[in-house]
Amino acid sequence: MKGETDLVMTSNTNGALSFDGIGMIFPDGTEALQEITFSIDRGEFITVVGPSGCGKSTLLRIASGLLEPTAGSVEVDRDRLGYVFQDATLLPWRTVRQNVELLAELHGFDTAERKRLSTAAIDLVGLQGFENHYPKSLSGGMKMRTSLARTLTLKPPVFLFDEPFGAVDEITREHLNEETQRLFQSEGFAGLFITHSISEAVFMSTKVLVMSNRPGRIVASFDVPFGYPRQPQLRFDPEFALLSGEVSLALRGST
Amino acid sequence: MTTIPDVTRPGPEDTDGHPGSAPDVSLEADALVHAPGPPPGASRPRTALRAAVPPLVLGSALIGLWYVISYVILEPHRRFLLQPPHQVLDNGFLDWDAYSRILRALWNSTQVALIGLGIAISIGFFLATIMSQAKMVERAVFPFAVTLQAIPILAIVPMIGFWFGYGTTARVIVCIIISLFPIIMNTLFGLQSAERGMHDLFTLHHANRLTRLRKLMFPAALPAVFAGLRISAGLSVIGAIVGDFFFGQGEAGIGQLLRRYASQLDGEELLTSVIMSSALGVVVFWTFGWIQKLVIGKWHETEVLG
């Protein structure tokens, strides 16, 4: 939590995911991102916080290849990229199990393997017993768990989260945060999480980056010193509050 | 820390419609999903009763009004204009000679309508699918599809007879023309209705065009497709009757009978034919609603009326 570390980070080509001088100017002239350079290794969980509309999601779309940056380059293995969207994006005509099996299906795994992967992933997110439910009968939190399980089936080395818990209530969100950091620990992926909730960022991450208003730049970086697994009561720790306050201050300064 | 998965479980109180609302047939589908919920049949008789009473009351009132017109408003020598209900029943529905003739004609028209609808569905699905795959095709076809819809069917019917003769082919073509547009438009709309996030998901995992179509766009299109089918099925029945009304060759359909009864001032048979034609439309609409419920009722939110 020791304050702001180096603002300009050097690119690290050994990272599971590296951004090198990313800039993004949309065809309508909007400059969304400017000079974004950082990298994430396996075993790192980096959260980017920033004001609404600062280009956080754009960064993830660039990371995943859904969007080509107008400057700079991204290095990442996109074969088994994990991407959890803002919405759960479940297919309503598929049951929980069928939704969880979708990606394995798209990657051409056979039925037995799909079944094995989906069972394991459903267990991981605690959805046992709901395999045959359709999304319309699930709560927001359960939809998000299904979405997480779907991504987990691929055992992605890099996991991108695009504000996935923004639409669920506070308590559910905290539970999901706890589960996400548990998954991070057990699966050991490199995590890049986008949010505008500071407590969510500090609770889960090894490092929090603060992004400025448009055009988005990284204006501050905070190492989070807490070990894993993190217990829910960490949120009431004075150190946690202090670090959250510093992130909040940096975020305010950026707007 | 474990969390208890929460699930929203609409109980019978949620689906218990107020009087006058259509029967909530999605209740049954819900019950399948929420297996641990209360027994699905528990509230159904009451719901069914609530759903049945209002239309029965209105129906009785309309029959009452019919009697009033026949006996009070119309003078005896003009009563042939609207014979009272029991006479229509006697001379139309209960006179087997007349009634079987009407049923035969209705069956002929039904066959024409179904053939026309089947062909319209094939053409419509095909066009909508290629329109969804290539923006250029969509741009090319769209204005013609709209024009097709704008053609007054009565204006084009004589021309169809002129070109295709006055038999079954011409009747079927009328059905196709009249029912094609809703199928194209609803299917296209449905194919384009999958959310961007879902498309992103398929893109991220390198799904090819066919996989995307099969696993994402077709299933996403189903609710809209069924909405279109129900409209088109009704239109196709109308097309069959209108076509038959004008084309006399081949086996007579219900349109020919309507024409004959009207010209002979056979009020009872005419009314029986009209009622049976309407009933056919209702049955067709209801049948497609039933198929829709079978196919997508389990996962689709909107309740199916009918």
Chain A interface, best mutation among B204, B298, B300, by max A CB count within 10 A: B204
What is residue A100's predicted lDDT score, i.e. its pLDDT?
Answer: 96
Using pLDDT thresholds of 50, 70 and 90, give the confidence band for residue A255. Answer: low
The residue of chain A nearest to residue B212, with distances taken between CA atoms, is A106
CB within 8 A of A65, min separation 6: which ones?
A: A74, A78, A81, B204
CA angle at A82 for the pair A46 and A25, rounded to the nearest 5°: 70
Identify the weakest region by mean pLDDT among A72-76, B8-12, B210-214, B282-286: B8-12
B30–A134 C-beta distance less than 8 A: no
| CATH code for residues B95-296 | 1.10.3720.10
Closest A-chain CA to B32: A133
Bridge partner list, A45: A191
What was the pLDDT predicted at A246? 93
- pLDDT, tens digit (0-9, with 9 covering 90-100), for B133-168: 999 999 999 999 888 888 888 888 888 989 999 989
| Whether B138 contacts B132, CB under 8 Å | yes
Position B35 pLDDT exceeds 70:
no
Please report, for chain B, how many H helices and E strands are present, in that order: 13, 0
Asked whether B61 and B85 are in contact (CB, 8 A), the reply is: no
Among A1-10, B54-63, B256-265, name the one with the lowest average pLDDT: A1-10
- The 10 Å Cβ neighbour count of residue B216 is 21
Q: Give the pLDDT band (50/70/90) at residue B209.
A: very high
Nearest-CB residue to B204 (from A83, A134, A178) = A83
Q: Which residue has the higher pLDDT, A60 or B5?
A: A60
Interface of A with B in 15-34 (CB under 8 A): none
Rg (CA), chain A: 18
Cα B200 to Cα A86, A96, B90, distances in angstroms: 12, 20, 65
More confident residue, B23 or B223: B223
Q: With bands split at pLDDT 50, 70 and 90, how would you rate the model's confidence at A227?
A: confident
Average pLDDT over residues B218-227: 95
Domain map of chain A by residue range?
1-81+156-255, 92-155
Q: Name the residue among A190, A188, A189, A221 with its Cα closest to residue A207.
A: A221
* Listed range (B28-32, B133-137, B190-194) with the worst mean pLDDT: B28-32
- The class level of CATH for A1-81+156-255 reads alpha beta
Question: SS3 of B17, please?
Answer: coil
Of B200, B259, B189, B267, the C-alpha closest to B222 is B189
Confidence of residue B38 (pLDDT cuts 50, 70, 90): very low
Interface check A175 vs B, CB under 8 A: yes
Instruction: Report the pLDDT value the prediction gives residue B300, as an integer from 0 to 100.
Output: 87
Q: Which residues of B touch A93 (CB under 8 A)?
A: 219-220, 222, 296, 299-300
Total residue count of chain A as it appears in this document? 255
The domains of chain B are located at 12-81, 95-296
Question: For the segment B233-288, what is each residue's pLDDT rounded down to a tens digit?
Answer: 999 999 999 999 988 888 889 999 999 999 998 888 999 999 999 999 899 989 99
Phi/psi of residue B260, nearest 5 degrees: -65, -50
Other CB atoms within a 10 A radius of the CB of residue A253 amount to 11
* Count of pairs with CB atoms under 8 A, one residue in A, one in B: 89
**Closest C-alpha to A135, from A144, A123, A126:** A144
Q: Confirm or reject contact between A89 and chain B (CB < 8 A).
A: yes
The position carrying tokens 């005419």 is B270
CA distances from B244 to B150, B154, B252 (A): 21, 12, 7
pLDDT band for position A3 (cuts 50, 70, 90): very low
Query: A226: which 2 tokens?
Result: 């807490």
Look at residue B266 in the predicted model and tell me its pLDDT: 87
Q: A17 has which bridge partners?
A: A40, A76
pTM over 0.95: no
pLDDT of B4 reads 42
Smallest CA–CA separation between A6 and chain B, in Å? Answer: 33
Whether residues B299 and A138 touch (CB distance < 8 A) is answered with no
Cα(B159)–Cα(B278) distance, integer angstroms: 27
CB atoms within 10 A of CB B258: 20
pLDDT at residue B18, rounded to an integer: 40
pLDDT for B37 beyond 50: no
Which residues in chain A touch residue B220, judged by CB atoms under 8 angstroms apart?
Answer: 91, 93
**In which band, very low, low, confident or very high, does the pLDDT at B29 lie, cut at 50, 70 and 90?**
very low
Please tell me the distance in Å from B101's CA to the nearest CA on chain A: 45
Percent of chain A with pLDDT over 70: 94
* Chain A positions in Cβ-Cβ contact with residue B211 (cut-off 8 Å): 106
CA-to-CA dists, residue B163 to B118, B122, B153, B156, B167, angstroms? 22, 23, 15, 11, 11
pLDDT at res. A153: 93
Question: Could you tell me if A152 and A189 are in contact, meaning their C-beta atoms sit under 8 angstroms apart?
Answer: no
| pLDDT for residue A254 | 65
Residues A126-140: pLDDT tens digits?
A: 899 999 999 999 998
pLDDT of B19 over the 60 cut: no
Q: Using CA atoms, how far apart are residues B161 and B173, in angstroms rounded to an integer?
A: 10
Beta carbons of B170 and B107 less than 8 angstroms apart: no
pLDDT tens-digit map of B63-114: 999 999 999 999 988 888 888 999 888 888 898 998 999 999 999 999 999 9
| pLDDT-above-90 percentage for chain B | 60
Q: Per DSSP, what are the bridge partners of residue A25? A: A31
Residue B152's pLDDT is what?
Answer: 86
- Would you say the C-alpha torsion A141, A147, A152, A158 has a positive or negative sign? negative
DSSP secondary structure of chain A: --S---SSPPP-TTSSEEEEEEEEE-TTS-EEEEEEEEEE-TT-EEEEE--TTSSHHHHHHHHHTSS--SEEEEEE--TT-EEE-SS----TTS-HHHHHTHHHHHTT--HHHHHHHHHHHHHHTT-TT-TT--GGGS-HHHHHHHHHHHHHTT--SEEEEESTTTTS-HHHHHHHHHHHHHHHHHH--EEEEEES-HHHHHHH-SEEEEEPSSSB-EEEEEE----SSPPGGGGG-HHHHHHHHHHHHHHHHH-
Helix axes B168-191, B135-150, angle to 10 degrees: 130
